[in-house]
Chains A and B, each alone.
Chain A
Amino acid sequence: MHLPISDKIELNILHQNSHQAEKNKVKFNNYNLLCLNIMSSPGAGKTRLLEITLEDLSKKFHSAVLEGDMTTNLDAARLEKLNIPVVPITTGRACHLDANMVSGGLKLLEKKINPDLLDILLVENVGNLVCPAEFEIGEHFKVALLSITEGEDKPLKYPIMFREADLILITKVDLLPHLNFDINELKSNIASTNPKADVIEISSITKSGFDLWKNWISKMILKFKNN
């Protein structure tokens, strides 16, 4: 045996994932396809948000969905009713999507449609406020949902998720009159964690805020395509 050698490599632990995420992003860019990573806790309303959004958005932009779920295809089945390409990604025991899973999902999507024909790919991540925040998938923007039934303190308790998000959607705001909930405190906690994030209040029941959200998406698609 020789004397120990120390190799200073300074390499990101998630380098393997980041490397695949970069490859995914290159593919999205080559397809001129904007990719959004939609994240939240379970039950915050991601799938319902996509159902309502895509009903309208798919008339204006060619859209597709990669639908992450731990054990079922239930959410994918809901979105398939909108007659858009949907690829379910069942993660098994993993509590988030990673770049390899998204790469696999993209390959399956390529069999359904030529991605050159698409404008936007919405990736619904697995419901979880911890893990998805650390695993890049090659997205252009991260969108985090936070429903008001989860409490005002969640941006402070799960700061990485809300720090990483480009846009935060406060969902289920139709319930505000029925709850002892301080939306200003929530907004202040969001601003503390991520002062640069855009914030939109939204309700899947009254449809309030959907115009702002759809305008945000349209603006991002056009900006992306013009770059």
Chain B
Amino acid sequence: MHEVDMTKCLILSMEEWAEKKNKKKIVVEKINLKIGEFTCVEPISLINTFNAAVLGSWLDSSEITIETIPFEGKCSKCNRLYFPKKENGYKSPCCNFNLEEIISGRELKIASIDFKEK
């Protein structure tokens, strides 16, 4: 359900961006997102929500692409990077330490926008 609110925020950010570009003179082809694995976002739900929300709007012909950013932590004992898994409580496999530092996976970003000028 929160994908609806995320889509709302995404569209507002797109509006803000487009105003600076002169919205009437551009066509957005792709909105390229980076979504971390350690977020509350389900990529397919975000795409479906976006597609439904922009029907008939200036973003109707635009497409969402999502690059998934892996969830990566750093062991606070030996500094080794690892991919935390909930099956072992996100602990580091090297030293069995709790997850203190997250290196990546919390991203919720519009990385880039591909557009054409009319």
- Compute how far the CA of A163 lies from the CA of B6 in the bound complex, rounded to whole angstroms: 20
Q: Which residues of B contact A6 (CB under 8 A)?
A: 112-114
Q: Decide if B2 touches A96 in the complex (CB within 8 Å).
A: yes
If A1-B118, A95-B1 touch, whether A8 touches B98 (CB-CB below 8 Å) is no
Q: Which residues of A contact B89 (CB under 8 A)?
A: 156, 188-189, 192-193
- CA A157 to CA B39, docked complex, whole Å: 12
| Per-position binary interface string of chain B over residues 1-42, scored 1 when its CB falls under 8 Å from any chain A CB and 0 otherwise | 110111001101100110001000001010001000011110
Tell me which of A13, A15, A96 has the highest count of chain B C-beta atoms within 10 A of its own C-beta. A13
Minimal beta-carbon separation of B64 from chain A (angstroms): 11
Which of B1, B4, B17, B86 makes the CB contact (< 8 A) with A9? B17
Q: How far is the CB of B63 from chain A (nearest CB, A)?
A: 12
Interface set, chain A 13-51, CB cutoff 8 A to B: 13-17
Given A131-B2, A193-B90: A13 touches B100 (CB 8 Å cut-off): no
Q: Indicate the member of A11, A17, A156, A188 with the most B CB atoms within 10 Å.
A: A11
Q: Which residues of the partner chain B approach A157 to less than 8 Å between Cβ atoms?
A: 86
Known pairs A131-B5, A159-B90, A192-B98; A11 contacts B40 (CB<8 A): no
Interface residues of B in 64-118 (CB under 8 A from A): 86, 89-91, 98-100, 108-118
Question: Is A84 in contact with chain B by the CB < 8 A criterion?
Answer: no
B98 x A9 contact (CB < 8 A): no
A133-B106 Cα distance, complex, nearest whole Å: 12
Closest Cβ–Cβ distance, residue B82 to chain A (whole Å): 13
Kindly provide the distance from the CB of A126 to the nearest chain B CB, expressed in whole angstroms.
Answer: 11
Does any Cβ of B come within 8 Å of A94's Cβ?
A: yes
User: How many A-B contacts are there with CB distance less than 8 Å?
Assistant: 111
In the complex where A11-B13, A159-B38, A189-B89 touch, is A4 in contact with B113 (Cβ < 8 A)? no
CB closest residue in chain B, given A132: B2
Chain B: interface residue total (CB-CB under 8 A): 37
Q: Within the complex, what minimum Cβ distance (angstroms) separates B110 from chain A?
A: 5
B87 (CB) vs chain A CBs: closest residue: A156
Write out, one digit per residue, whether chain A residues 159-191 have a CB within 8 A of any chain B CB (1) or not (0): 110010000000000000000000000001101
Please report the C-alpha to C-alpha distance between residue A159 and residue B113 in the assembled complex, in whole angstroms. Answer: 31
Q: Mark A57-98, 1 if CB is under 8 A from B, else 0.
A: 000000000000000000000000000000000000111101
Contact of A131 with B112 at beta-carbon distance under 8 Å, contacts A189-B89, A193-B99, A195-B99 already known: no
Within the complex, what minimum Cβ distance (angstroms) separates B18 from chain A?
Answer: 10
Which one of B2, B40, B91, B116 lies within 8 Å of A5 (CB-CB)? Answer: B116
Q: Which residues of A contact B (CB under 8 A)?
A: 1-17, 93-96, 98, 130-131, 133-135, 156-157, 159-160, 163, 188-189, 191-193, 195-196
User: What are 14 A-to-B residue pairs whose CB atoms are below 8 Å?
Assistant: A6-B112, A8-B111, A10-B109, A10-B112, A13-B13, A94-B1, A131-B2, A131-B40, A134-B2, A156-B86, A157-B86, A192-B89, A192-B90, A195-B100
Contacts A11-B17, A13-B13, A14-B9 given; 16 further ones with Cβ under 8 A? A1-B116, A1-B118, A2-B117, A5-B115, A6-B113, A9-B110, A10-B111, A11-B13, A11-B109, A13-B10, A94-B5, A96-B2, A96-B5, A98-B5, A159-B86, A192-B98
